[in-house]
Structures are given as C-alpha cells and as structure tokens.
C-alpha cells in the first residue's frame, strides 16, 4: 500500500546519521523531525537564521521574534545559534548543511527538479529552495509518486520551470525509494505491499530495476 | 561633538529625503523584525513609484502590505510574495512588477552592495528562469551565474537595541535580513525597541556597527505573528 | 548521541589527517588570535610542502614562523610578510613562494570559499600587479577584477570559548581572520582558551556557529605581544 | 620652512569633520589623531577589526588580544565595535569609511599611487592599503614633497608598481596642500615661508597654480 505522509517522513528520517545538520522543507519534510531514530541526533537548520531549531512553543513561550523559515512560531534548542540571512545561506550554499529534504512537483532522470512555479498559476516565489538545492551535500526529494490524476512525477525531463539542475540524487515517494544516476531512476526499495510493476507503471522516466527490490523498513 | 549621535525623535526626520521613484531596502522576514513605524511613515508621506527590496511584502493591512493600499510600490524584489490578496490583484492587473530572487542570492546581493562587491558568482538559479540572460562561468567544472549587488537610496531596519552611535543588536530570529540591508542603504534608518548609551553593548557583540547607520529612532511595535503554532500539548 | 560533540583531547587527534602538500588556512593577525598549539602540532608532525593561507607568517621562533625552521611551508598566501629573518632568507633562496594578496581581498576570498561563492569582483588591486592576468569587468563605469575564492584542506582557528557543539566566540581583536577561515576548511579545528557547555553562549552572540567546526581542543596560550606600545604617561 | 611630521599631521587633522569615520595609516597619518580640532570628533577605524580605536594602553591595560592594524597594543573607546576582517573590509571597500590617510612613495597627476613595492627590495606586502585606496570616499596622501636626494615624489606618471589607480584627490606634503584633478596637481596652500617657486621646482608632474596661494593654517 502507498505510504502515508507520516510513513514517508519515517523513511526519510532513517537516512539521518548522528551529527547531521539538516534543513527540512515545509510539509512532509518537516514531519521527518518527529521520527529521528533512537540514538541519533540531528540539528535542524532553518534558513531564516537559526541552527538548532526546537519544538513549537508553549503558549507562554510564544515570541514574535522567534520564528522558522515557514514563519511559524518556534523555539531553539540548548546550544542553538542565531545569525543573519547571509550567514544562513553561506552555510547552505557553502555545502555545510548535510541534508536538505524538500518536496517537488517533478523530478527527472538527470536530477533536475521543478518545485516552485506552475505557469498560469500565481507564482509566489522560490524562497530559499534554489539555494538549498544548489548547496546541500545531499538532497532528498519527498513527494507522491504520481499526481492525483495518476500522472507520474518522475519524468524523462521536467516540464515545469526548474528549481535546480543535476542536483537530486535521492527520491522517497509514497511508493518507493529511488536513486538518480547515469540518466535513470534506480529503484532501491518499495513500499510494503507495493509491486515493482506498479512502480514501473507510475514512473515515466527511465527506471532501472536490478535484482530483488526489498520492502522499506520504517 | 554631535557628529556621531544618530538619534532622531520624529518619524518625519527619520525618513527625511525619501522621494518618489527611490529604492528602499527593508529588513525583515515575513512580519518578523520589520520596521513598523518607518513603513507607516512611508505610507503617510505618500511617496509613489517605489522599488522595495525585501524578502517578502507583508500581509494585507500589515507590514509592507500597507504600501500597496495607495499603490506606492512600483516594483518588489523578493524571494517570496503573495501572502496578501491586494498584492496578487495588483500583480495580475500589471500595476505591480515583481523580480523574484532566490532568498540566499537576495541576502548576498544586499551584503555585496554594502561591501563594495559589484557582482559575485553563485550556483543558485543556474539552469532555471532565474539564470536566464545572466553570465555563466565554470569553476572546477561546475557552472555558476553572475549576480549583481543591490544598493538602495534608503535602508529601513528594525533592531532590538541601538546606542546613540548607531551600534545595533537584534533579538532572536528578528535579525534575518536586517544586518545586510543596513549596509546597503545610502541612508540607513534603524527603528529600535530601546536606545541605550554607548558602552552598554559589548563591542564584540554588536551585530551592526554604527558606521552603517545614519538615523536611529525609538519605535513601538505591534509585532504581529503570522503563523502561531503551538506545541501539541498546548493546542 | 555524540555526533555533535566536537571536543578532542589530544593535538594528535586535533590535526589527524594532515598530510604533505595540503593547504592550511590559519586565523590570526600578526601574533594576535593564532592557534599556537595547533601550529606547534604541525611542526611536530613534520608534514612538508604546505600551502599556508594566513594574513601573516608569524615571527622568528613564534607563530607560523616556526614552520619555516624545518622548511615545511612551500607557499604562503598573505597580505604582509617578512617580519622574520628566516622567511626573508627562504624567499630570497627560492625555497619559499609567496602570493601577496590585499588584506580585504584575502578575507573576502576565505569568506567566499566557505559560502559557496567561487569568485567575486572587487576594485581592489585593479591596475596594480595584483590585477595582472585577472578578468576585468566594468560596473557603473568603474573597472573591477575577478578574484577567486579560497578553501583549504584544514582550517586552524583560535577562539576564546567554544561549547561542545563547536559554537565559538572570539575575544577583542583576536577575532580578525578566524571566523572566515573557520568556514573555509574541509576540516576545521578550533583551539580555545575555555570549553563551555552548550547553552552558555547566547545564541545571537555566537561568532562561529558549530556547523563550521569539526574539532575543538582546549589549549594554553603564551599570547606573545608583537609591539607593546604604552600610553605616553606609562612609557 | 618645510613642515615637520607633526605639522603635516596637524594640517591633515584640519580636514576632518565632526562625525567622520577615519582610517589612519602607519607613520605621519597616525599622528593626525593627536591634532583633531576642538569640537570635532572622529572615530578611528583599524582594519584588523576595530571601529572606535582609543589611545595606547596603560601598563595595566595591555592585552595581547587588543591590537591595532600596526600590531601595536591599543584600547577601544566607549561605544566601539569589534568585528572580523571581512566585515572590516566590507566597511572599507563599501565606501563607509569617510577618510583614509596614508603615506606613499609616489603619486601622479592621474591620481595613481605607489606605496608598497620597490623592485629589487624585499617586498613585504600591501597589507590593507590596496583595499583602502579602492574603497574610501576621500583619500589624503601624506609624504615629503621630495625624497632625500631632492627627487620629486609628485610625478607625471608613477614609476613604481601601483597600489591603486585614479584614486588620490588630495596630497598634503611638507611643502604644500595639493588637489589632483584633470591630469594635474592643483596647488591650494603652501607651508609657511615656502615659496610657490620652491614647490614648482620640486613638483615633477604638471602643476596648476591659480591666483594667490595662501599659507597653510595649522
């Protein structure tokens, strides 16, 4: 069966290693913070200028001067640092953030990603997404494998305006874990109960399936 | 010996010299760390044709959003906009122009503007609509685009505390774009919660040295919260 | 849960992985704010062929100057050198290469290296020997030269205090090049006067966030003064 | 009579206006801090990262962590700020420092300056001088009008490797105050008792003398 949003987040969190600095985009990526495995610590970077983002505040802790990149009220962990936006993106652009997890409209076999603009719809902006995909050492894209009409989001070539080129190496969808390399998607894991056939069917870009594909562990 | 006393006592003095068609760089991220009183003064002055450089454009009725009400903004340079209906309407009408700029590139453009760096290369935006028409150069086999710096006629800044010399500190994440914006204005105006005497801020802990600051005014702040989210047990 | 604990207890651990022909970026200005123990460890390890990027090269017998004694330095990238006789001798012998770089350009090259900016334009050095062979471009009618960023295999840093997560603060003008150098090393090692617990340093007052730091070691410092000058009444 | 080093410094200090941020080079420029006129305050920037440099320390105040750009022990004034070298040169390069005063080997009629390198002699480096001449709004060069062999230092074209091009607008020597504009030195003031003839004789580059040239006030 296709994974729930929380299950995708759980699978994402299994990628984290102890000591990783991680930037989580809005939506499913943010949920991953709830599922960091036992014995592993990650430090969350929020691109508005906070390293060591904590949980949401209690009513008494709410402070208009303490927000995250999603403009939500937030807290800082003990040992956090707070800095300006240029410094924050120096960290990101300079490759000091270990992982970025973000959503996408489309990803293609060359690791291109489209995530910010749908022609004809009002464009709100790319925020920090272009900097994040250009800068992080490892990027994980989380999304549903296909849109609600059943159209694949894993394409031979993105059709929407890009957020970044040649930058995506790993995709975790509701159906599968895939790596992007050598102009193809490489199937690595499938969601429990989801067949390789179904994944093939919903992957428009070139898909490489080698050997037995194990089910994900969550 | 008043040459370093940057304190002014009225908003008219604070924004004196602002004229139609000028470029104003504004600190703030969403509604966090925005110079509320300076924005209100721009609305009151009624200047038109402004280019505003700021990560966002406030919301309907608050922050930079209030400058849309009388159509004072000609162009926004931002990374993320459209949290307000009026913005959307003016954009679709063609009354408002938007130059979308990646958030990190925007921060770096302001810093570069203040630091005498006219342009820099970044990988951000290469191969995307942001990179169109920009110079491309490879370094170590990777393509980068050339981005030019930004300076403004005015920079409007929100700090927590400033001393009379204009040395500023920011509180929590209300720092955001303010320090870079402060360096990039021909005239930089800082609105603060508290004015302190020189020496009260430790020299190594000053975020914005007074050399960048022309005027300091004490404001009062509503500090509206855009998205109040509570811990689960408090919801 | 030790992933963020950057503290090491021996200088061997601190400089583990340093090999011949590597590039080391060192913080410090003159003898102020230099990682004395890390430099001593490099001498002890005896690695050769180093490229050292640092504003200066110490003096005879102290600071980076001690690495000249066994001819460990192949090349210096600095803005001002030659405060030591041994340096002069090796330079004139052709045993040592020097790339003189304007001080502000050097600081900006380190910052750019750490910030993922491969190159930037500056007016500094245009029309001088520094500009020779570099790309020139005009912005607003003024010519600028393109300068490339610097990164190193190691960065060696002196801070005042650091917590276990590697968050650092610097004391007085011992800050100088240290914060930029800290961002530009593949492996960044910080030698400090005091190690504190996370939370003891206020989040907004941290000069170098721990994300840039790989190893922290507590050192003891001689802090030699290069030019002691006293107020007239104390001379 | 030719001015003493302290007299040159006195004349320099008369250029300062209340509220100026000033960077003073080593030597005569540094002396100018001693002669800031009554009622005028300037704030000294030291390019190693100190805005608001104070006097030299007492024995008890000496601190190895508190030095100036000349590597001398120093103090900070009340209201000073201390920052890193990149920030310090952002101030300089970005034109936020009002005045830079520095010495030179040669200056020419096009505002070029040579101050750091003499071929054949050991080159110690330019330090921050190239950034300062490229960045400050106003630069004052202080030097003797001629070298000890009587050779003019105000030339049609610099002969030594340059520190900066087209950047010098004002020169204060032991003999005169001159402005540099339109490919010539313009004589503005002469040292008390020094004749225009002597200045003409010791100025190798084109010299413009218009009207009566007043004596300097010190």
C167 vs A: CB within 8 A: yes
- Distance, in angstroms, between B2 CA and closest chain A CA? 31
Cite the DSSP H helix spans in chain C.
11-14, 36-45, 85-93, 103-115, 178-183
B85 close contact with D: CB closer than 8 A: no
D68-122 tens-digit pLDDT:
999 999 999 999 999 999 999 999 999 999 999 999 999 999 999 999 999 888 8
pLDDT category at D164 given cuts 50, 70, 90 is: very high
Does residue B3 surpass a pLDDT of 90?
no
| CB–CB contact B30 A161 (8 Å) | no
What is the pLDDT averaged over residues D156-180?
97
Interchain contact C121–D (C-beta under 8 A):
no
User: Which residues in chain C have Cβ-Cβ distances shorter than 8 Å to A84?
Assistant: none
Q: Reply yes or no on whether the pLDDT at C235 is more than 90.
A: no
Find the angle CA(C70)-CA(C74)-CA(C75) to the nearest 5 degrees. 130
What percentage of chain B reaches a pLDDT higher than 90? 95
Q: Do D90 and B206 touch (CB under 8 A)?
A: no
Q: How confident is the model at residue C2 (pLDDT cuts 50, 70, 90)?
A: confident
Q: How far apart are CA C235 and CA C73, in angstroms?
A: 38
DSSP conformation letters of B43-77: HHHT--SEEEE-S---BTTBGGGGGGTTT-EEEEE
Q: Residue D1: what pLDDT?
A: 85
The CA distance from B7 to the nearest CA of chain D, in Å, is: 13
| Cβ–Cβ below 8 Å for C227 and D67 | yes
Residue ranges of chain B whose CB lies within 8 Å of a chain C CB:
108, 112, 115-123, 137, 139-140, 142, 144, 148, 169-172, 175, 203-205, 207
Which residues have a Cβ under 8 Å from the Cβ of A211 and sit 6 or more positions away? none
Q: Given this model, what pLDDT does residue A122 score?
A: 85
Which residues of D are known catalytic residues? 47
Q: Is the dihedral of CA A184, A187, A191, A193 positive or negative?
A: positive
Residues of B in contact with D90 (CB under 8 A): 111, 114-116, 183
Checking if the pLDDT of C183 tops 60, the result is yes
Predicted confidence at residue B2, as pLDDT, reads 74
State the average pLDDT over residues A117-130: 92
For residue B211, count other CB atoms closer than 10 A to its CB. 22
Model confidence over D38-55: pLDDT tens digits?
A: 999 999 999 999 999 999
Average pLDDT value over all residues in chain D: 96
Nearest neighbour of C205 by CB, restricted to B119, B122, B205: B205
pLDDT tens, residue by residue, C11-58 = 999 999 999 999 999 999 999 999 999 999 999 999 999 999 999 999
List phi, psi (to 5°) of C91: -65, -45
The domain segmentation of chain D, as residue ranges, is 5-208
Q: Does B119 touch chain D (CB under 8 A)?
A: no
What is the C-alpha separation between A69 and B173, in angstroms, rounded? Answer: 10
Sign of the Cα pseudo-torsion (B223, B227, B233, C1, in order): negative
Do A32 and A13 form a contact (C-beta atoms < 8 A)?
A: yes
Q: Is the pLDDT of residue B97 over 80?
A: yes
D133, D167 in Cβ contact below 8 A?
Answer: yes
pLDDT at residue C234, as a whole number: 82
Residue B98, strand partner residues: B76
Tell me how close the Cα of A34 comes to any Cα of chain B, in angstroms. Answer: 12
Confirm if D171 and D177 have CB atoms less than 8 A apart. Answer: yes
- Angle among Cα B143, B144, B147 to the nearest 5 degrees reads 160
Best residue in C1, C3, C214 for a mutation probing chain A (most A CBs within 10 Å): C3
Query: Which pLDDT value is given to residue A185?
Result: 98
Beta-carbon-side half-sphere exposure of residue D168 (alpha carbons within 13 Å): 38
**Contact between C165 and A21 using a beta-carbon 8 Å cutoff:** no
Q: What is the DSSP string of B206-221?
A: -SB-GGG-SEEEE---
Q: Is the dihedral of CA D15, D20, D26, D31 positive or negative?
A: positive
Closest CA–CA distance from residue C98 to any residue of chain D (Å): 10
- Res D218: pLDDT: 83
Q: What is the ipTM score, two decimals?
A: 0.97
pLDDT tens across B167-224, in order? 999 999 999 999 999 999 999 999 999 999 999 999 999 999 999 999 999 999 999 9
Instruction: Check A47, A59, A61, A106 and give the catalytic one.
Output: A47
% of chain C exceeding 90 in pLDDT:
95
Nearest to B73 by CA among A2, C214, B63: B63
DSSP lists the bridge partners of residue A179 as: A170, A186
HEC string of C155-180?
Answer: EEEEEEEEECCCCEECCHHHCCCHHH
Q: Identify the pLDDT of residue B210.
A: 98
Contacts of C110 in chain B (CB under 8 A): none
- CB < 8 Å to A45, chain C: 211
pLDDT at B1 exceeding the cut of 60: no
Q: Average pLDDT over chain C, rounded to whole?
A: 97
What fold does the segment set A5-208 form as a domain?
Answer: Glutaconate Coenzyme A-transferase (3.40.1080)
Q: What gap in Å lies between CA B106 and CA A86, rounded to an integer?
A: 8
Instruction: Label the pairing between strands D113-114 and D106-108.
Output: antiparallel
Average confidence (pLDDT) over D161-189: 97
Binary contact (B209, D87; C-beta < 8 A): yes
**What percent of chain D has pLDDT above 90?**
94
Name chain D contacts of B4, Cβ cutoff 8 Å: 19, 41, 43, 79
The per-residue pLDDT of chain B, averaged, comes to 97
Confidence of residue B235 (pLDDT cuts 50, 70, 90): confident
A136-180 pLDDT, tens digit each: 889 999 999 999 999 999 999 999 999 999 999 999 999 999 999
Q: In what order do the strands lie in the sheet with A50-53?
A: A76-82, A50-53, A42-46, A20-24, A99-103, A138-143, A170-173, A176-181, A184-190, A207-208
Q: What are phi and psi of A73, to 5 degrees?
A: -60, 145
pLDDT > 60? residue A57: yes
- Distance from C-alpha of A14 to C-alpha of A30, rounded to nearest angstrom: 14
Q: Kindly report the number of other CB atoms within 10 A of residue B216's CB atom.
A: 26
Check if B198 contacts D (Cβ < 8 Å).
yes
How many Cβ pairs within 8 Å bridge chains A and B? Answer: 179
Closest in A19, A87, A90 to C4, CB measured: A19
């Amino acid at each position: 069966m296709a994974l729930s949003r929380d299950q995708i987040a759980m699978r994402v969190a299994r990628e984290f290693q102890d000591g990783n600095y991680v930037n989580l985009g809005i939506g499913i990526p943010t949920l991953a913070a709830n599922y960091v495995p036992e014995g592993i610590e990650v430090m969350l970077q929020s691109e508005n200028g906070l390293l060591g983002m904590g949980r949401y505040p209690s009513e008494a802790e709410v402070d208009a001067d303490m927000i995250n990149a999603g403009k939500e009220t937030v807290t800082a962990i003990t040992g956090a640092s707070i800095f300006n936006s240029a410094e924050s993106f120096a960290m990101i652009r300079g490759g000091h953030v270990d992982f970025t997890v973000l959503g996408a409209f489309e990803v293609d076999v060359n690791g291109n990603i489209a995530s910010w603009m749908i022609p004809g719809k009002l464009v709100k902006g790319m925020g920090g997404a272009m900097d994040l995909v250009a800068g992080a050492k490892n990027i994980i894209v989380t999304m549903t494998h296909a849109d609600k009409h059943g159209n694949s989001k894993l394409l031979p070539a993105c059709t929407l305006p890009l957020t970044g080129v040649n930058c995506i190496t790993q995709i975790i969808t509701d159906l599968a874990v895939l790596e992007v390399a050598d102009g193809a998607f490489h199937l690595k894991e499938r969601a429990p109960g989801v067949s390789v056939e179904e994944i093939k069917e919903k992957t428009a870009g070139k898909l490489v399936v080698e050997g037995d594909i194990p089910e994900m562990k969550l | 010996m008043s040459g370093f006393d940057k304190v002014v006592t009225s908003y008219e003095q604070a924004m004196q010299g602002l004229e139609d068609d000028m470029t104003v760089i504004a600190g703030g991220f969403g509604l966090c760390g925005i110079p509320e009183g300076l924005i209100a003064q721009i609305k009151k002055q009624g200047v038109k044709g402004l280019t505003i450089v700021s990560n966002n454009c406030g919301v309907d009725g608050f922050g930079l959003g209030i400058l849309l009400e009388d159509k004072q903004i000609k162009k926004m340079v931002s990374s993320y906009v459209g949290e307000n209906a009026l913005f959307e309407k003016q954009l679709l009408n063609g009354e408002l122009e938007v130059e979308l700029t990646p958030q990190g590139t925007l921060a770096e453009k302001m810093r570069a503007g203040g630091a005498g760096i006219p342009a820099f290369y970044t990988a951000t935006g290469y191969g995307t609509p942001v990179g169109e028409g920009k110079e491309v150069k490879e370094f170590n086999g990777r393509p980068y685009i050339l981005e030019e710096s930004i300076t403004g006629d005015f920079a409007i800044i929100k700090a927590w505390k400033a001393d009379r010399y204009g040395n500023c500190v920011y509180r929590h994440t209300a720092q955001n774009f303010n320090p870079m914006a402060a360096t990039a204005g021909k005239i930089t105006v800082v609105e603060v919660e508290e004015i302190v005497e020189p020496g009260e801020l430790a020299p190594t802990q000053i975020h914005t040295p007074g050399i960048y600051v022309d005027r300091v005014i004490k404001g009062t702040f509503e500090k509206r919260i855009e998205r109040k989210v509570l811990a689960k047990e408090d919801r």
